[in-house]
Structures are given as structure tokens and as C-alpha cells.
């Protein structure tokens, strides 16, 4: 690898890191948004792992991509200055979104500048995977959460009817014998859905060659998340109604998402295997 290119890219990488480090560190230390972004710390390691796997292919033919490289460097710097200027008008989450996105654009520009568009295309997955360090803007996050709430509430409604448990419903609120439960934002499964999306992207990159099949795997996360949420709410509701209401305030309720996340992975496994088999048949 050309040492001159490497040191230029290293210098630009340090600048990009400095652009995003403080906002991200502040966000991850804060109580409110932190619960949605526990994955951020792991993202660079995963991306660098995929860089390592394809390093010979990525860096085989090196060239300077000055046109698009300088353009993205300028755009990244522009977003950074915009973030500095608008800091007082933005929430911590959205300020961090803008600053980390500007850092990523700047860093991508540095990569293209030093190694060219061909290397960028070959490194597209690990580069784009870094997008997961960018916090989701609040208006999008609220929209995703609401969508999952609606889906989870509807599936819970269906399961309640299936089990025969008597209930009355008001929006996200279900009135059961002796108690009421709400499909709150915390019940949306947004954290587990983000984890499942990340997992499906990694699995698709490793095991699938066809782009549309990778997207099928990722899109399957949505119905699986809704199914998992509805099943969890129904089981806890049945236990609270017919066994002990204290279960709804117990550790099983607060920290019982791990077994259901494992269940979601089990549902995704046959989908992945099925997609892999179709690729093998096509090769034959």
C-alpha cells in the first residue's frame, strides 16, 4: 500500500473522528436516547472486519479520486459547519445526527480522494455500514416507533382473539380482567429491530450474493419484529391475568426481551437458509 496515500487518509480519518467524537460521546452518556444506540460502539469493529476481509481486492488498484473526493470533503465540512451554527436549535439527538453524518461524508470523501472510485465501489458495504453510527433523526425514529406500535397492537389484538381472553381495546390500551396494559413506545421493539436489521445485513453480506435476496432478508425483520412483540405482550398479559399480576412489574417484563430476540433469530434462520439454497440451485 502506498504510504503517502495511507498517511493522507489517516490524517483525514483523524479529522473525521474529531468531528463526531464529542457529540457521539455526549449522546451515549445521556439517559434518554442512549437506549436506542447501544450498537454504535460495535459498528466500527464490524466495518473494519469487512474491510480486512476484502483488503486485497479493495486496494489492488489505487488511484486518486480528486473530483469526487474533494466534493465529498467539502460537503462533509459544510454539514459540520451547519451543525455548529444550528446547535442551539437542535435536540441532542438531531445535533449528533448532523455531526456524525458530516463526519462520515467527510471520511468517505477522504477515502475516495486517496483510493479512487473503484476502491469505493469494492468497499461499499463496510463504508455504508458506518451509517449505523449516525443516530436516526427524531422525526424518523418516532415514525418507526409508531409503526411498530401499531403493528404490535394489531397483532396482539389478533392473538387475544385467538386465545379467547376477554378484553376491550382503546387504541394502544387493552383492558383485561383485573388490569389494563398499554402497547407503549418501550414495547415497540425498536432496539431489537435495529439489532435484527444489523444482523440481517451482516448475514446477507456473508452468505448471499444476490442483492435483492439480501433486501428480502432485511425486510423480513419487520414482520418478525411485530410477531415477536405481539407474542411477548400476549404471553405476559396471560401470565398477569391468570397467574400473578406482579409479573408485569417483574424482571421477566423488564428484561425478558432476550429470549424473544433469540426466537426472532430462529425465525430468520430458515429464511436465510432458503435464500441460500435458491442461490446454490441457480449456480448449478
pLDDT, tens digit, 9 for 90 and up, residues 231-245:
988 988 888 888 877
One domain for residues 117 and 171: no
Same-domain check for residues 126 and 147: no
Q: Is there a single domain that holds both residue 9 and residue 107?
A: yes
Q: Are residues 123 and 160 in the same domain?
A: no
Answer yes or no: do 18 and 58 share one domain.
Answer: yes
Q: Which of 91, 116, 135 is the last residue of a domain?
A: 135
How far is the C-alpha of 153 from the C-alpha of 212, rounded, in Å? 30
Give the confidence band of 28 by pLDDT, cuts at 50, 70, 90: confident
Say whether pLDDT at 255 is over 90: no
251 — pLDDT class (breaks 50, 70, 90): low
- Shared domain for 107 and 163, answered yes or no, is no
The residues, ordered by sequence, that sit 6+ positions from 12 with a Cβ below 8 Å of its Cβ are 73, 106, 107, 109, 110, 113, 114
Reference 127, options 9, 247, 21, 254; nearest CA is 9
Neighbours of 186 (CB within 10 A): 14
Question: What is the rounded end-to-end Cα distance, in angstroms, of the chain?
Answer: 38
If asked whether residues 51 and 100 sit together in one domain, one would say: yes
Using the 3D structure, point to which of 101, 135, 169 is the last residue of a domain: 135
Looking at the structure, do residues 147 and 257 belong to the same domain, yes or no? yes
Return the residue matching grid coordinates 456524525.
Answer: 100
- What range does the domain containing 56 cover? 3-135
Residue 254 pLDDT grade (very low, low, confident, very high; cuts 50, 70, 90)? low
Q: Do 69 and 121 lie in a common domain?
A: yes
Same domain for 273 and 223: yes
Q: Let me know whether 113 and 147 are in one domain.
A: no
Q: What is the mean pLDDT of the chain?
A: 90
pLDDT at 29: 86
Mean pLDDT of 146-152: 94
Q: pTM of the entire structure? A: 0.89
- Whether 106 and 231 map to the same domain: the answer is no
Give the count of domains, the chain: 2
Pick the last residue of a domain from 99, 115, 135. Answer: 135
Cα distances (Å, whole numbers) of residue 78 to 105, 142, 155, 247: 10, 27, 45, 52
pLDDT at 281 over 90: no
Amino acid at each position: 500500500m502506498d504510504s503517502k496515500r495511507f498517511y493522507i487518509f489517516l490524517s483525514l480519518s483523524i479529522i473525521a473522528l474529531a468531528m463526531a467524537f464529542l457529540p457521539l460521546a455526549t449522546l451515549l452518556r445521556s439517559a434518554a436516547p442512549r437506549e436506542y444506540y447501544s450498537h454504535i460502539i460495535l459498528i466500527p469493529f464490524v466495518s473494519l472486519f469487512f474491510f480486512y476481509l476484502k483488503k486485497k481486492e479493495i486496494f489492488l488498484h489505487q488511484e486518486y479520486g480528486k473530483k469526487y473526493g474533494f466534493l465529498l470533503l467539502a460537503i462533509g465540512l459544510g454539514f459540520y459547519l451547519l451543525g455548529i451554527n444550528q446547535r442551539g436549535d437542535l435536540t441532542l439527538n438531531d445535533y449528533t445526527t448532523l455531526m456524525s453524518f458530516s463526519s462520515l461524508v467527510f471520511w468517505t470523501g477522504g477515502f475516495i480522494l486517496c483510493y479512487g472510485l473503484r476502491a469505493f465501489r469494492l468497499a461499499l458495504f463496510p463504508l455504508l455500514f458506518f451509517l449505523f453510527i449516525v443516530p436516526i433523526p427524531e422525526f424518523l425514529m418516532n415514525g418507526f416507533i409508531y409503526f411498530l406500535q401499531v403493528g404490535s397492537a394489531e397483532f396482539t389484538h389478533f392473538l387475544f382473539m385467538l386465545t379467547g381472553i376477554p378484553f376491550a381495546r382503546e387504541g394502544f390500551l387493552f383492558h383485561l380482567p383485573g388490569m389494563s396494559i398499554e402497547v407503549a413506545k418501550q414495547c415497540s421493539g425498536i432496539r431489537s429491530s435495529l439489532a435484527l436489521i444489523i444482523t440481517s445485513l451482516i448475514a446477507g453480506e456473508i452468505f448471499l450474493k444476490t442483492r435483492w435476496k439480501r433486501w428480502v432478508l432485511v425486510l423480513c425483520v419487520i414482520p418478525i419484529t411485530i410477531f415477536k412483540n405481539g407474542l411477548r405482550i400476549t404471553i405476559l398479559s396471560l401470565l398477569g391475568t391468570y397467574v400473578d399480576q406482579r409479573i408485569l412489574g417483574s424482571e421477566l417484563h423488564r428484561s425478558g426481551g432476550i429470549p424473544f430476540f433469540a426466537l426472532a433469530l430462529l425465525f430468520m434462520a430458515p429464511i436465510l437458509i432458503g435464500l441460500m439454497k435458491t442461490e446454490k440451485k441457480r449456480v448449478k
